[in-house]
Amino acid sequence: METRVDGRLVRGDQTRRAVLRKAVDIASVDGLEGLSIGRLAKELEISKSGLFAHFGSKEELQLATIRAARRIYATSVVEPAFAVEPGLGRVWALSESWLEYSKRRVFPGGCFFAKASHEYGARRGPVHDFLAEVNREWIQLVEQTITEAVDRGELAADPVQLAFELNAFYDSANMASLLRDGDGRVYAQARQSIRARLEAAATAGTALPW
């Protein structure tokens, strides 16, 4: 089966990809508002109008940037954890991959979503709504991961409550690291809080994954 590819569409896709790769980096540092079309075009050495044509509006560019960031987030945070068996081990793996995702600066400005969510948290419109949806998605994933550990009898805790707490540790480590100019010690601190919390919730006889 021969797959015909339209060279024009391929070229467009490549441009689009290059734009979004740069866009998530800029936005993670300067925000989705600071992400200006002119600057983006200049850094990529393409025309402002050509870039604009790909999205039609700044808001669409912002939404596309969030989608691109979500893909990167999925591969660098979720996927590594899901390679581990469900249960406490996966809860721990998820925590580890999150901290590594922030510490390694997958986005140069730290967690893209922490940044964007704060930027648009108090505003209305499609960007806020989309970020809220992504956040719901993420929290639900953490809760689900915890629930699996509870169902296996490895953890005794309210998944909603525990998910809130773990997520709080993630975000707080991220922000503290940014404010302290990339100080890595806060990640060790967060890791210890997470471990202590999970250890307290682990049922007797459960093998601890660290």
DSSP 204: T
The answer to whether residues 45 and 95 touch, using CB atoms and an 8 Å cutoff, is no
Long-range CB contacts (< 8 A, 24+ apart) of 36-43?
37/61
Say how many residues touch a second copy, by CB under 8 A: 42
Which member of 40, 91, 93, 190 binds a second copy (CB under 8 A)? 190
Say how many residues touch DNA, by CB under 7 A: 30
Angle formed by the axes of helices 126-151 and 159-179, to 10°? 120
Contacting DNA within 19-48 (CB under 7 A): 35-39, 46-48
76 three-state secondary structure: helix
Nearest distance from residue 66's CB to DNA, in Å?
15
Verify binding: residue 180, a second copy, rule CB under 8 A: yes
Which member of 57, 75, 140, 189 binds DNA (CB under 7 A)? 57
Q: What is the 3-state secondary structure (H, E, C) of 8-59?
A: HHHHHHHHHHHHHHHHHHHHHHHHHHHCCHHHHHHHHCCCHHHHHHHHCCHH
Distance CA 51, CA 54 (A): 6
Per partner kind, with CB cut-offs from 5 to 8 A, the member of DNA, a second copy, none near residue 117 is a second copy
Question: Of 144 and 189, which CB lies nearer to a second copy in the complex structure?
Answer: 189
Give the total residue count for the chain: 210
Contacting a second copy within 67-126 (CB under 8 A): 108-110, 114-115, 117-119, 121-123
Per partner kind, with CB cut-offs from 5 to 8 A, the member of a second copy, DNA, none near residue 48 is DNA
155 three-state secondary structure: strand
Those residues with Cβ within 8 angstroms of residue 71's Cβ, 6 or more apart along the chain or in another chain: none
Per partner kind, with CB cut-offs from 5 to 8 A, the member of a second copy, DNA, none near residue 123 is a second copy
Give the pair of three-digit tokens for residue 114. 């922490």
Verify binding: residue 176, a second copy, rule CB under 8 A: yes
- List residues binding a second copy (CB under 8 A): 28-31, 33-34, 108-110, 114-115, 117-119, 121-123, 128, 131-132, 135, 160-161, 164-165, 167-169, 171-172, 175-176, 178-181, 186, 189-190, 192-193, 200
- List residues binding DNA (CB under 7 A): 4-9, 11-16, 35-39, 46-54, 56-59
